[in-house]
Structure 1
């Protein structure tokens, strides 16, 4: 049964990332029908991230209280509604509303992670959580291809396709997805208004010494990586004068590496090294990758360098998620993954903003060398971090 649930969750997360990349292929073109400024396009991501920051801890808290299944189904349905509204469009504010809806209900990945944690033993958790990263990699391989083909039909077609993917997952999940959190392991306390404050949820976990250290490391890694993700196409275009096809090739390599590492290798590596060592190795590899990226003087060098960066991220993400799930009781797993999603939303807003300012006002390689310096702080944090080998509770 657990293998069937894992397969279904992998499919859900894959559809989630395919839907995201389907939208990326056309959203700038659709927005330009109403407003031609770059800010108008950027606000799609900003609104999504802000409302995911608000919604993710709330949804996680509710899943700890009432179960994972209903919350995941609401998240999937919210994504479907958001995509369909985006496809219908008609005005710029409608496009923003669509991303707000999808952002607030954008807990698909965090709730799926909580379900995986519920059904996995501590030894299996890193490997099983790696499937989410594998789905991410495959989504970034498959989505742009489908989006490019559908965009030849109409600009709205990729958005409708993303909505259909999410709606299909909702219907299938309604009939086949069992509840993973038994009633006796749920949080029995009443949900108060103050519990719905995302800042309070973040403060609650960061105040716990080891858990707080891990969340700060998570925040810095995602801040650095999100800044890299948004600015690297500009860096590559300016430095090597390449076309969109080459950008797609770099993303393809990145997706392949992440899918291989998190889909197949991470479980074997965990048995040999454990979470902490994988985190240290991943951070060192990511640091080296960013430095090499800044120093690359030929375009062909970026393909292996993107592979190095993706390898680092592929080792870090499931290892952090595994530790997060082991450091809290079962009735807090949903909330802690909601908090990690909220923190990632913050880095989605501020990481690209800071990276863009460094790029424009200091030098084009400043975001990557600066990011490498920040990752050295992560290494210092991890040196003091004491991992949990099994669940504490």
Structure 2
């Protein structure tokens, strides 16, 4: 694959390494909570849920701040500072003497994790609009591959103790920062920078420029619906597969690895040529149709091996997130890209709190009625709403706006 600027592969490698570092600690987090909190595994699960909320809340507030800072000072210093914060945070968690320190570490990780906004902004800065969605797809692929490698590596390192993966994650993050210092160019030209204002450094301020362009609000609503729908996989897959097919933890793990692999293949090899042929909007509609089909098929699937077949067309839902990002980024000028991407990160953090609750409740309600596919029906409903919004938006004319890139 060819990139328009050498900053892109560096950012993609940074996302990959950072996600590996995040995933490394997941296998040992329950044991560390049990040890530090002197609680049973049931209570540790609840505590881990509270930590997830702390992570998401910190990311919600930090996303627009980091994005707006990157619009003021450039992407490079913000990315480097975030990687340094990640490294310090994992080192802190490796040495944490109490649960309170772990909570502090998760909050810092959430704030530093908002770095995906500036990382996406690098892609928006240096990639032509017609290739931007494909580049966002590569970023999603790096994120997905990192979540395949990270937990597997964390499981191996867990043999050296529950704190060893945190040390490894700290080393990865600090090494990542060093590579950025040495090799990464700045992608935001000084002419495109703007003053930092706290009144812009929140989710409403981040999206304010979008509301000056046609049909931006419906696209944002479609994005929220998609974020809620797509969370069905990480939230309920393991429980659903265990209940529906009586799979062992090993079988669940292999199925997740397969999902990650197929999704990454789509992101790397399929998105770019498809968008080149049918455009962002066409790819978005195809992706949502495949997602809805996949959700419904998973809701009613009867035999375990069919899951692997269904995932092949369902993986084309990988078009959705990059196409939405691409369409939204076209609607504003270069001075606002950081704020936009930071705002999208905040929306994602909200979805990561709301959707797990909705999906798990739908799964439980369905199981009580003898139908384990309730969560996937709910996900299909969200995706249908997103598709309806997108189709309606496509039919509406987009008036020209100052500073925004005209949509092809």
**Same fold per TM (> 0.5)?**
yes
Q: Within 5 Å, which residues of 2 pair with 1:281-360?
A: 281-312=286-317, 314-360=318-364
Number of residues of Structure 1 aligned to a counterpart in Structure 2: 390
| Shift in Å, 1:199 | 4.1
Q: What does residue 12 of structure 2 align with?
A: 10
Pair 1:68–1:229, CA change in 2 (3 A): same
Measured against aligned partners, the alpha-carbon deviations of 1:8-28 in whole angstroms (never above 9, x if no partner) come to 111101012212221222212
CA distance in 2, matches of 1:8, 1:2: 12
CA distance in 2, matches of 1:307, 1:148: 28
**1:25 aligns with one of 24, 27, 48:** 27
1:198 aligns with 2:203: yes
**1:41 aligns with one of 48, 60, 65:** 48
Preserved CA contact (<8 Å) 2:202 2:343 = no
Note the aligned Cα RMSD (angstroms): 2.1
Q: What does residue 59 of structure 2 align with?
A: 52
Stretch of structure 1 that moved more, 217-226 or 362-371: 362-371
| Shift in Å, 1:2 | 4.4
Preserved CA contact (<8 Å) 1:257 1:311 = no
Pair 1:47–1:307, CA change in 2 (3 A): farther
Q: Within 5 Å, which residues of 2 pair with 1:134-283?
A: 134-187=141-194, 189=195, 191-202=196-207, 205=210, 208-283=213-288
Preserved CA contact (<8 Å) 1:110 1:338 = yes
Q: Normalized against structure 1, the TM-score is what?
A: 0.94
CA distance in 2, matches of 1:211, 1:27: 40
CA distance in 2, matches of 1:43, 1:238: 25
1:376 aligns with 2:384: yes
CA distance in 2, matches of 1:39, 1:209: 43
CA distance in 1, matches of 2:213, 2:53: 29
Q: Normalized against structure 2, the TM-score is what?
A: 0.90
> Which SS does the other structure have where 1:25 is aligned?
helix
Q: What does residue 72 of structure 1 align with?
A: 79
CA distance in 2, matches of 1:148, 1:307: 28
Measured against aligned partners, the alpha-carbon deviations of 1:322-363 in whole angstroms (never above 9, x if no partner) come to 112211110110000001110000000000011112222344
| Shift in Å, 1:277 | 0.8
Preserved CA contact (<8 Å) 1:289 1:305 = yes
CA distance in 1, matches of 2:168, 2:122: 26
Preserved CA contact (<8 Å) 1:228 1:355 = no
> Which SS does the other structure have where 2:28 is aligned?
helix
**1:104 aligns with one of 111, 114, 120:** 111
> Which SS does the other structure have where 1:385 is aligned?
helix
Measured against aligned partners, the alpha-carbon deviations of 1:180-231 in whole angstroms (never above 9, x if no partner) come to 11111112x4x33322333443466467542221111111111111133211
Structure 2 portions without partners, runs of 5+: none
